[in-house]
Chain A
């Protein structure tokens, strides 16, 4: 446990060792604000809730979260520190989890810093704060799912750019899994049962309900499973491909 915390602590601090963290947070906040207020018709809708804020988040995450995740393992490979880290008394599970949680905590901080939007809603009207909290929770879970995908794909390469592109592409597919664009493609060669399976993997479908403030255990479980699956796959890949 303390080994995992050691990994977590180092990784988390490393985000703030360079200006990257601050740049990321500023961009995230600016884009969140801009999308919410200009494109989301926050004021004009005349409703006090954070729907306009949450509805753009999957798309914001699509590019920003892979940027956080890309360095997780690719950097360790490139600099050779993976050899140092994995010869310390730490298990692969502890290393993978520690790093993932550090990235997640970082994204959580960026997300928490959007609180002025929430304050604005409360100033303008009487929103359902329970629903907003649920929205934030769902948003954090979705970010975690993106990060887990990024962690796994970052483990496959020593190039952060390659990790970024792979992660954006994969996340994009997961986001759109429920859309005709993707489903029609799969329908051309897969049986309907599998196509339905793919449709049920759509991040957007699962997030939409949470963003409206409806906390369904199945949606939470879905994201938890996605995170678990990709982290596990990442650990396996690392174990198999340590040499290259």
Chain B
């Protein structure tokens, strides 16, 4: 479990994190979103016990990160931003160092090492100095280091940055598999990742918390939530007729591919009506889709909207 209360951090005069409070329970995977410089990494550094908060407090599994730092650090696995590791060591030596520092029982060490090496597919590079690994492999070594002691709380700063699509898939699978009894916080700039692994999203900008919701709730805030979009052979006629439907707010045509998006009036379901109308008019559609809402649009609105302006 993670609990922060009015967590604040200044760098000189710069306010990087300005009083953030939230709580993450076991079983939750919290996606930490925000534009560059929003204060995501700074918050995570404080949770991990690297930086001391300037004000406020943070607790990991009930241990305050400032007054009981060792107890907090023991329960926690942390992937710092950029996945730093000791470049001159080989992957095996590095992981053995971590295992020793984490005081895993000697009998369990072998099993745990074997497991993370397998999961992150590091067998091939085990004896290679970390300096000579590609970016993605370095990130995987960083992830291995964070989970090797099977921690109750995981804090991962951009865990899939630099991974190839297959590895992204693997790592997301890994996070999902670990999610059940653990508390996980990840920061990311990839909104599809939010869908893939998070069951809760926190958006911050300028060091302030601007949204705290489930991915579905955020999507529901989108203009596109409940909209119907389709591609038709001849779109002009369709557009006129659709605009006259009482449940329809507006209709937009993508200038590039001619795809039509029909927006509902507040809270209305329009898929049935749209389909009926298209059938009645004899308009042939090649494909039709009910939109869930677009996170990127919601993200942009929240982080550039009035609330964000006020925070800045």
Contacts and interface: CB of A to CB of B under 8 A. Distances in A.
A6 B93 CA distance: 12
Contact of A3 (B11, B50, B85, B101): B101
B88 A87 contact: no
Contacts of A84: 78, 80, 84-85, 145
Interface string A1-18: 011001101100110011
Interface of B: 11, 45, 48-52, 69-70, 73-74, 76, 78, 80, 82, 84-89, 93, 97-98, 100-103, 129, 145
Given A3-B101, A88-B73, A81 B85 contact: yes
A242 interface: yes
Given A14-B86, A79-B84, A87 B103 contact: no
Contacts of B100: 2, 6, 9
A89 B145 contact: no
Contacts of A6: 97, 100-101
Given A2-B103, A243-B51, A87 B78 contact: yes
A91 B70 contact: yes
18 contacts: A2-B100, A3-B101, A3-B103, A6-B97, A6-B101, A17-B88, A79-B84, A83-B84, A84-B78, A84-B84, A86-B49, A87-B50, A87-B73, A87-B78, A89-B101, A89-B103, A242-B50, A243-B51
Specify the main secondary structure of chain A where it touches its partner. helix
A116 interface: no
A198 interface: no
A87 B101 contact: no
A197 interface: no
A84 B144 CA distance: 13
A92 to B, nearest CB: 9
A87 B33 CA distance: 23
A17 B50 contact: no
A89 B74 contact: yes
A14 B73 contact: no
Given A3-B101, A89-B103, 15 more contacts: A6-B97, A6-B101, A9-B97, A9-B100, A14-B88, A79-B87, A81-B84, A83-B48, A83-B80, A88-B98, A88-B102, A89-B73, A89-B74, A89-B101, A91-B69
